Amino acid sequence: MYQVLYRKWRPRRFADVVGQPQVTVTLQHELTEGRIAHAYLFTGSRGTGKTTCAKILAKAVNCLNPQEGDPCGECEICRAADDGSLMDIVEIDAASNNGVDNIRSLREEANFTPAAAKYRVYIIDEVHMLSVGAFNALLKTLEEPPPHVIFILATTEVHKLPATILSRCQRFDFRRIPPEDIAQRLHYVAQEEGASIEEDAALLLARLADGALRDALSLLDQCLGRSRTVTEAVVNETAGLAGRDHLYAFAQAVHQQDAASVLELIAHLHEGSKDMARLCEELSSHYRSLMLIKTMKDARNLLAISQEEYARLEKQALSIPLTTVLHCLDTLQDALEKMGRGADRRTEMEMAAIRLCSPELDTGSAAILRRIEALERGAPRRAAAAPPVSEEPQAQESTEETAPVQQDRQAEEPAAQNSSRHAAQPAASTADLAKNAVPLDAWPEILQIMKGYSATISAAFTGSSAYVSGDYVLIDAPREMAFELLRKSSQRGKMRDAIQQVTGRVYKLGPYRRPEAPQEQQEDPLLQLASMAREAGIEVTETKEPELEIQT
């Protein structure tokens, strides 16, 4: 008869339990020293080894020949326990035996000495399901346990247990098992089964199992039903995941605010019977990865994915601002919640997509922050009307030369009223900056990265050079097209990213040339949006220096 893998490979010794050293090492140690409690409580998320450890513990306290706290597995007690014929280990499923009568009869029975073993062990699984009366009855026994009785209570929902029960048990918390540990166990089991699993596939399974080894083994079981060599593709097919291309495509299109493409993508996936809630979850998980990569130096440990996948994510993470990522996460979680409440899934997904592609339609705080960020990247801040008196004269001259380029999205923003609040902030002067500039030696390397983004862009910068001055990288390019490109916030973002990749620093960008005559002041949509944000209760700091205008 076929036995499912997770049952077949249930560990029989503490040493084989993975990822729970805080439980197994402690128990082994205590058992070796002969310290045995009368009530244990095993809690933690599902499929992480609670029942398994309860069974091992029940054997270990009774084993005739225990080995460093582990049951030997060979003596008559161990063997009887394994084949279920040992009457002194009693497993009770509290979900179906939750009444006070069940516990009363258990108490009665517990008064008798064990038949064959040293201890009578009661494993009460899902103990949180007991009725109030049953808990009270159990409590009486726990208060004065017969010396030959041990209780092992197991539950996923410890918060449902009365404090009086908790305080009488020695508690062990089982944690979600780290993906690497799960992957390793999958390798081991696959190998013992005469099959094999690739590294990427094991990690993907581990990630899908979300810390539960039982789920991972069930999935492995299904995969092995398909193929004796488990690859990432096999896992994808088995778990009903298409590849992940659509996630990248979605994120890219949203970043470009290309609603038509996003809607087409959704329609296409819908035709392929993709469940929209599942899509929403996958996208959330994708954006979470982007978020972690963007905020951590090295998010590899938290993500548990292959090197290639990481590199691919990292590339996308570089091109998408954090505010966009957060806005997407926010919106997708909302949509998922509504889907859960019975809203039409496809419509909900499409609405989310449209909100993401048009943050200006969205009045949520995540959307407003995203718009502010877009403006900060794309639009130069309006120059100060008058510098503070204490500033040097050049500062004044320079502050007047920064005029916004109204080519980007901010052109759609409503016109701002004149504001006087920014008068205290002098902008840096390109002329001043150019004076102190030193050549940026790594420029060719940066252009090389830009080439990876787009051949056209890198062509525009042929023959260019760059200088560093303070917080700025100043670019000198013979072709007008280079500056045309830099006026676009998306291209400027790429350039900044490329510079950051090579230099490790975030620089503002400016042209390496002396500015021409001052131009008229224009309204600063950023200021208006900032005041909108403040009205919406979002804190906006104003310490940021304006980006230099790319003047040609």
Ligand X SMILES: Nc1ncnc2c1ncn2[C@@H]1O[C@H](COP(=O)(O)OP(=O)(O)OP(=O)(O)O)[C@@H](O)[C@H]1O
Q: Is 40 helix (H, G, I), strand (E, B) or coil?
A: strand
* Residue 59: CB minimum distance to Zn ion, A: 7
Euclidean distance between CA atoms 220 and 197, whole angstroms: 9
| Binding partner of residue 214 among Mg ion, Zn ion, ligand X, none, CB cut-off 5 to 8 Å per kind | ligand X
Which burial class, exposed, middle or buried, applies to 417 when counting CB atoms under 10 A from its CB (0-12, 13-18, 19+)?
A: exposed
Stretch that binds ligand X, among 10-18, 96-104, 145-153, 496-504 (CB under 6 A): 10-18
Q: Tell the smallest beta-carbon distance from residue 321 to ligand X (Å).
A: 40
Angle, in degrees to the nearest 10, between helices 276-295 and 345-357: 30
Size of the site for Zn ion (CB under 5 A): 5
For 58, the token pair is: 């029940």
What is residue 39's DSSP assignment? Answer: E
- The mark string for 126-165 relative to ligand X (x by CB under 6 A, - otherwise) is ----------------------------x-x---------
- Give the separation between CA 346 and CA 137, rounded to whole angstroms: 51
Smallest distance from Zn ion to CB 84, Å: 15
**In the bound complex, what is the minimum distance in angstroms from residue 154's beta carbon to ligand X?**
6
Q: Is 384 in the site for Zn ion (CB under 5 A)?
A: no
Q: Which of 31, 54, 63, 473 binds Zn ion (CB under 5 A)?
A: 63
Which residue from 549, 489, 542 is spatially nearest to 521, judged by alpha carbons?
549
Q: Select the binding partner of residue 6 from Mg ion, ligand X, Zn ion, none (C-beta < 5 to 8 A, by kind).
A: ligand X
Measured distance CA(42)–CA(158) in Å, rounded: 9
Q: Is residue 11 part of the contact set for ligand X (CB under 6 A)? A: yes
Told to check if 78 binds Zn ion by CB under 5 A, we report: yes
Q: Is 453 in the site for ligand X (CB under 6 A)?
A: no
In contact, 368 and 404? CB cutoff 8 Å: no
Determine contact, residues 152/121, Cβ cutoff 8 Å.
yes
CB of 16 to Zn ion, least distance (A): 15
72 binds Zn ion (CB under 5 A): yes
Taking CB under 5 A as the rule, does residue 43 contact Mg ion? no
Residue 7 binds to ligand X (criterion: CB under 6 A): yes
How many amino acids of this chain bind ligand X (CB under 6 A)?
24
Instruction: Name beta bridge partners: 196.
Output: 229
Q: Are the C-beta atoms of 303 and 317 separated by less than 8 Å?
A: no
Closest distance of CB 52 from Zn ion, Å: 17
Give 314-360 as a 3 state SS string: HHHHHHCCHHHHHHHHHHHHHHHHHHHCCCCHHHHHHHHHHHHHCHH
| CB of 54 or CB of 299, closer to Zn ion | 54
Site string for Mg ion, 46-85 (x = CB under 5 A): ----xx----------------------------------
Which of 14, 38, 47, 247: binder of ligand X (CB under 6 A)?
47
Q: Does 90 bind Zn ion (CB under 5 A)?
A: no
Structure tokens at 47: 């499929």
Q: How many residues bind to Mg ion according to rule CB under 5 A?
A: 2
CB nearer to ligand X: pick between 124 and 142: 124
Nearer to ligand X, 28 or 429 (CB): 28
Helices marked H in 345-467 — which ranges? 345-357, 365-378, 393-399, 430-435, 443-453, 455-460
Decide if residue 75 touches Zn ion (CB under 5 A). yes
Q: Please state, in angstroms and as integers, the Cα–Cα distance from residue 274 to each residue in 151, 171, 258, 287, following that order.
A: 47, 43, 21, 19
Residue 368 touches ligand X, criterion: CB under 6 A? no
**What's the CA gap between 185 and 167, in Å, rounded?**
35
Burial-class residue 205 by CB neighbours within 10 Å (0-12, 13-18, 19+): buried
Q: From ligand X, Zn ion, Mg ion, none, which one binds at residue 78 (CB under 5 to 8 Å depending on kind)?
A: Zn ion
CA 539 to CA 362: how far, in whole Å? 18
Out of 35, 46, 435, 534, the residue judged to bind ligand X by CB under 6 A: 46
For residue 181, count CB atoms less than 10 angstroms from its CB and return exposed for 0-12, middle for 13-18, buried for 19 or more.
middle
Segment near ligand X (CB under 6 A), from 43-51, 305-313, 358-366, 380-388?
43-51
* Structure-token pair, residue 173: 């918390």
Site for Zn ion in 93-122 (CB under 5 A): none
Shortest distance (Å) from residue 330 CB to Zn ion = 55
Which segments of 10-120 does DSSP mark as H helices, in order?
A: 21-32, 50-60, 76-82, 100-110
Scanning 7-15, 222-230, 351-359, 456-464 for contacts with ligand X by CB under 6 A, the matching segment is 7-15
Q: 335: which 2 tokens?
A: 């949509």
The separation between CA 206 and the C-alpha centre of its own chain, rounded to angstroms, equals: 14
Given its phi and psi angles, is residue 126 left (phi above 0), alpha (psi -120 to 50 degrees) or beta? Answer: left
Does the footprint of ligand X cover residue 51 (CB under 6 A)?
A: yes
Binding status of residue 447 toward Zn ion by CB under 5 A: no
Least distance between Zn ion and beta carbon 91 (Å): 18
User: What is the per-residue binding string for ligand X in 196-235, x denoting contact by CB under 6 A?
Assistant: -----------------xx--x------------------
Q: Which residues bind Mg ion (CB under 5 A)?
A: 50-51
Q: Which residues bind Zn ion (CB under 5 A)?
A: 63, 71-72, 75, 78
Q: Which residues bind ligand X (CB under 6 A)?
A: 6-7, 9-11, 17-20, 46-52, 154, 156, 174, 177, 185, 213-214, 217
